[in-house]
Structure 1
């Protein structure tokens, strides 16, 4: 039996990935204000596509959750993911002179499609613990990134608003709740089950890096 809590084991497994995320020029551009607007727009459009499927993944987590309180919490988070897509993203898209309807008509690009396909396959096909491992990076990494970037701020009001969304206490408290559930669950898992959870967590953490990198590169379908 591992002497580490599950969250300790999970974070240790992605420390190199998280270091690469913090060092990525997309995030550096957010804090110093030099990120090209087109790269941020790419991110917002693809994030709108992503969050619709992420909300579905959270709804499946709610259906598989072991306790009534957890069912309600994940169902609320699913609604919150859709609200973020409809609210904050619509505001950003308006700033770019577009609309949420126009963004929805744009194609889901390769990294977004790969990430959401993996996410949905895992939550539908795996146990609740596996599903939790797959959805957790989107909570936890954004909380850690938001916290780190909030300390630096941004001279660009648009980027500062994005940073504040994930760095503020309301989002941080949601993440602490999910982490506490993860550790409670970890106490009941076999070594083999924990390995599965860690595997999914590492994979979707890598997709988080890829998601920012795709926006930075202006990824498109090659053919």
Structure 2
């Protein structure tokens, strides 16, 4: 019997394939990505990550057992301490701090992604919430792993690649996938979980695309 992760990957694989060939990511590995595009990405990450941690905490609140509560509570703390710390260091590389980043408003894609993710995790049942979160882990882990094969001639981009391609992040992603495989859910819950996974996978593509385009609000 196949693992649930394999079924989920089948529904997000097409999005992942498009992510891998997006010019933002190909530009990371060959060093051609304009620094302003990466700066945009980092600033938007500064807006997004606190809501990502809130979504993880909401999943912990809905977890069916103590081990899962501990896992997602710890991962929410990790997001604040490790990933948010990485963003703070990347901002510093551009001569910015988080107060500076806040002067640039969260863009349309950032607001949409954050809102969808927090709503799914705060209001949905545990399987739906987990489905919304899995692509956030797994796509970054797979992207990091693939990009690490080539790294980047740009030290700033190589640093980012090594973070998500490294063993610590791969282990974090694997823990969530093990939990996914252990779910015992109804057909309706399975359908809703996969729907959430497809949507957040699409938002992952959109987030990188927004940075590539340096997306802003069209009015106001």
TM (norm. structure 1) is: 0.96
Separation in structure 2 between the aligned mates of residue 137 and residue 48 of structure 1, nearest angstrom: 19
Deviations 1:166-220 (A, max 9, x none): 00111101111100000101xx111111010000000000000000000000100
- Alignment partner, residue 211 of structure 2: 215
Separation in structure 2 between the aligned mates of residue 9 and residue 201 of structure 1, nearest angstrom: 11
Give the match's secondary structure for 2:149: helix
Give the match's secondary structure for 2:182: helix
Change in 2 beyond 3 A, CA 1:167/1:85? closer
Deviation at 1:29, TM superposition (A): 0.5
Residues 185-200 of structure 1 mapped to structure 2, 5 A cutoff: 185=183, 188-200=184-196
**Matching residue within 45, 48, 51 for 1:50:** 48
Change in 2 beyond 3 A, CA 1:85/1:100? farther
Instruction: Please identify, of 101-110 and 151-160, the stretch whose mean Cα deviation from structure 2 is larger.
Output: 101-110
**Matching residue within 25, 28, 44 for 2:26:** 28
Separation in structure 2 between the aligned mates of residue 192 and residue 89 of structure 1, nearest angstrom: 38
Separation in structure 2 between the aligned mates of residue 20 and residue 28 of structure 1, nearest angstrom: 11
- Alignment partner, residue 80 of structure 2: 82
Stretches of 4+ aligned residues off by more than 2 angstroms: none
TM (norm. structure 2) is: 0.97
- Structure 2 residue runs of 5 or longer lacking an equivalent are none
RMSD of aligned C-alpha atoms? Answer: 1.0
Deviations 1:58-90 (A, max 9, x none): 001111111111111101110111123542111
- Structure 1 residue runs of 5 or longer lacking an equivalent are none
